[in-house]
A and B are shown apart, each in its own frame.
Chain A
Amino acid sequence: MEKKARANPELRRSVTPWGSFSWGYSDVGADIFVGLGLVLAAAAGASNVAFLFAGVVYVCIGLAYTELAATYPVAGGGQYFVMRGLGDIFGFIAGWAVLLDFTIDVTLFAWTSVDYSSQLLPSLTNSVHPWVHFVAVFALVAGLCLLNVIGVRESTAFNGVVSALDVLSESLILCLGFLFAFKPALLIHAMQFNWPSPYQLMLGTSLAIISFVGLESISQAAQETQRPASVIPRTSVSLILTILIFALAYSNLALGLQPWHPITDASGHHLAFWQIFTNNSDNQGKAVALLAAQVPYYGALAALYVPVLGAILLLISSNSGVFGSSRIAYAMSSSNLLPALFQGVHRRFRTPAVSIIFFSSIAVIELIFAAIPGLFPAAASFYSRFFRGENGLDFLADLYAFGAATSYSFVFLGLIGLRLTDPLSPRKFKIPLNVGMRFRGERVEFPIVAVIGFIGIFSILLFTLRTHVLGRIFGPSWLLLGLLFYLAYRRYRRLPVLQSVQRDWRNDQTEILRRSGELELMDEYLANLKASDQRRASEGSGV
């Protein structure tokens, strides 16, 4: 028994409710630091509407992840849920899309971490010193890769402190901003006279979803939380609402903000605050710091510390990309969706070094692709001709939105699939609005919110494909390459190529509940199985 435990070491379940909240917050909470500027630049006077649409979809996704993570608290997250609900090939596609997101996450957040730092260190400004910016981002990505290989990762306690500071700081910025700098007339004016074209609104909405990416962290926290079925729903609902409130509040405040220091353009005309983001990627990369600096009085202090806090939070999020991609690849490899190579553990450091180095290398390739036009002006004309000039932040945001919309779409389908095929697993938390029905002889509850969420996220996926030139090319190419690789690998291993490998989900689920300390739920599950088997046996014998 002891030998078996050593061969399959389990994660220690020591994350507290606050630890679980801060884990998610340090991942999803950082997104508004990136998304705000991009959305304001794209959707102008309808930025708050773009955030509203994406926010409603995000609430549905958050509730779906909460139910799934509380019911199946295992490594793998979205990929595991989809594989279990829809089969191996769809599990691979969802997991591969999540991996795209994690690699982009590494680069995008390291990039914006440097952008926030440039508020205090102007020599890091991308448009002025592109090489310095590039080297700084590259050094961060390489550094995080190295730290993860030798096994150092941010502690839950550190996450907790940074999250608490950030929640406090953002609440202060919003409270003081709404009290002293918010003019409702400016908001109404921006919405009335700067309403974007449908194309720009679609672009803004597809970018707004990147402010809500990172819900995989809910399932990552679930596997390290004691009694996750009870703890995860409590912390997740708080997390979902907090992030939604910040996103909606920031977008409304930014549109109705009366700047503390007047902002003028080159010809001396006064600009509204949100207009400083139009066609200015330097500003887009540090939107929250610029907004905080415009809050009367408090802005003088905020201008000094918000860039630092933002840079740290973004760096933690970037690290979660390095860590998360290796863990997802490890889980996919354990399920025979990726080669065993990705389970390769470093002899000395006992970390999944192969996965870490492989996906960090992809992050570096993405960084190079995003940075090329800034580094070599001769390449800019090529990008203008073929990619409508998209580069830098735009390129990274494009792929981030594509990966998120794809994986979330599959998670909704996975949730519906699991409700139909696994009705016997006890669900301590269920997303609201369910319709009772019978499916294959069992009573199931069909989730209406999952259908609404799927329609919402699928429309965002269509918006992304319609409005993002690079996302349209590189996103599907990533999926197609992965799929070809998957098919070749399954054929080589003589595993079912389009079908799923046979698994004993009943035993798996019992073991999952036992390991997570949910013994009451395990007993309930076993009782459900017994009752179902007896009913089927009696129906089969015609009694």
Chain B
Amino acid sequence: MLLIRTALSIAIVVCGAILLTEMFASIRMAGIRVLPGAVLGAAMVALGAHRLALIARVRGGRR
């Protein structure tokens, strides 16, 4: 279960990072309009990282 949760959390971080990169790449074309997408990407990275930190704490506790 912990493995699946870790994989999902990593997937969320990766998706968020891709989205952030895409948004910054198209900033010249779309300007400020990329902001909602960029915040979405940042929120995904933050959620994934938060989940990973919790999982790391659980693993640390087990050891």
Cα distance A281–B40 in the bound complex, in angstroms: 28
List the B side residues contacting A345 at CB < 8 Å: none
Sample (26) of A-B pairs whose CB atoms are under 8 Å apart: A48-B37, A49-B35, A49-B36, A52-B36, A52-B39, A56-B39, A184-B26, A187-B33, A192-B33, A234-B54, A237-B50, A238-B47, A238-B51, A241-B43, A241-B46, A241-B47, A241-B50, A245-B40, A245-B43, A245-B44, A248-B36, A248-B40, A249-B40, A252-B36, A252-B37, A252-B40
Number of interface residues of B (CB under 8 A): 16
Cβ of B27 under 8 Å from chain A: no
Contact in complex: B47, A242 (CB < 8 Å): yes
Q: Closest approach, in angstroms, between the C-beta of A346 and any C-beta of chain B?
A: 41
List the B side residues contacting A357 at CB < 8 Å: none
List the A side residues contacting B37 at CB < 8 Å: 48, 248, 252
Cβ of B30 under 8 Å from chain A: yes
Cα distance A519–B6 in the bound complex, in angstroms: 32
List the B side residues contacting A242 at CB < 8 Å: 47
Interface residues of A in 245-294 (CB under 8 A from B): 245, 248-249, 251-252
Cα distance A245–B12 in the bound complex, in angstroms: 11
Residues of A within 8 A of B (CB): 48-49, 51-52, 55-56, 184, 187-188, 191-192, 234, 237-238, 241-242, 244-245, 248-249, 251-252
Contact in complex: B51, A55 (CB < 8 Å): no
Chain B interface SS verdict (over half): helix
Cα distance A107–B29 in the bound complex, in angstroms: 44
Q: List the 8 closest A-B pairs by CB distance, nearest first.
A: A48-B36, A241-B47, A248-B40, A52-B36, A191-B33, A245-B43, A244-B43, A241-B43
List the B side residues contacting A234 at CB < 8 Å: 54
List the B side residues contacting A245 at CB < 8 Å: 40, 43-44, 47
Q: Given A234-B54, A237-B50, are A248 and B33 neighbors across the interface (CB < 8 Å)?
A: no
List the A side residues contacting B26 at CB < 8 Å: 184
> When the two chains form the complex, which single residue of A51, A237, A241 contacts B36, counting CB atoms closer than 8 Å?
A51
Cα distance A252–B40 in the bound complex, in angstroms: 9
Q: Closest approach, in angstroms, between the C-beta of A183 and any C-beta of chain B?
A: 14
What would 5 more interface pairs be, CB under 8 Å, given A48-B36, A56-B39, A188-B30? A55-B39, A188-B29, A234-B54, A242-B47, A252-B40
List the A side residues contacting B43 at CB < 8 Å: 241, 244-245, 248
Give the residue among A242, A245, A249 with the most B Cβ atoms within 10 A.
A245
Cα distance A244–B50 in the bound complex, in angstroms: 14
List the A side residues contacting B51 at CB < 8 Å: 238
Q: Closest approach, in angstroms, between the C-beta of B2 and any C-beta of chain A?
A: 14
Cα distance A163–B54 in the bound complex, in angstroms: 20
Cα distance A55–B40 in the bound complex, in angstroms: 10
List the B side residues contacting A49 at CB < 8 Å: 35-36
List the B side residues contacting A192 at CB < 8 Å: 33
Cα distance A252–B36 in the bound complex, in angstroms: 8
Interface residues of B in 11-55 (CB under 8 A from A): 26, 29-30, 33, 35-37, 39-40, 43-44, 46-47, 50-51, 54
Cα distance A245–B16 in the bound complex, in angstroms: 10
List the A side residues contacting B30 at CB < 8 Å: 188
List the A side residues contacting B46 at CB < 8 Å: 241
Which residue on B lies nearest to A244, using beta carbons? B43
Cα distance A48–B39 in the bound complex, in angstroms: 11
Give the residue among B39, B50, B54 with the most A Cβ atoms within 10 A.
B39
Q: Closest approach, in angstroms, between the C-beta of B9 and any C-beta of chain A?
A: 10
Q: Closest approach, in angstroms, between the C-beta of B4 and any C-beta of chain A?
A: 13
Q: Closest approach, in angstroms, between the C-beta of B52 and any C-beta of chain A?
A: 12
Cα distance A187–B36 in the bound complex, in angstroms: 11
List the B side residues contacting A52 at CB < 8 Å: 35-36, 39
Contact in complex: A188, B36 (CB < 8 Å): no
Q: Closest approach, in angstroms, between the C-beta of A438 and any C-beta of chain B?
A: 33
> When the two chains form the complex, which single residue of B36, B39, B50 contacts A238, counting CB atoms closer than 8 Å?
B50
Q: Closest approach, in angstroms, between the C-beta of A120 and any C-beta of chain B?
A: 31
Give the residue among B43, B47, B50 with the most A Cβ atoms within 10 A.
B43
Which residue on B lies nearest to A49, using beta carbons? B36
> When the two chains form the complex, which single residue of A184, A191, A248 contacts B39, counting CB atoms closer than 8 Å?
A248
Q: Closest approach, in angstroms, between the C-beta of A350 and any C-beta of chain B?
A: 38
Q: Closest approach, in angstroms, between the C-beta of A87 and any C-beta of chain B?
A: 36
Q: Closest approach, in angstroms, between the C-beta of A172 and any C-beta of chain B?
A: 13
Q: Closest approach, in angstroms, between the C-beta of B11 and any C-beta of chain A?
A: 10
Cα distance A251–B30 in the bound complex, in angstroms: 17
List the A side residues contacting B47 at CB < 8 Å: 238, 241-242, 245
List the B side residues contacting A187 at CB < 8 Å: 33
Which residue on B lies nearest to A192, using beta carbons? B33
List the B side residues contacting A184 at CB < 8 Å: 26
Cα distance A34–B33 in the bound complex, in angstroms: 25
Q: Closest approach, in angstroms, between the C-beta of B37 and any C-beta of chain A?
A: 6
List the B side residues contacting A248 at CB < 8 Å: 36-37, 39-40, 43
Cα distance A242–B50 in the bound complex, in angstroms: 11
Which residue on B lies nearest to A251, using beta carbons? B36
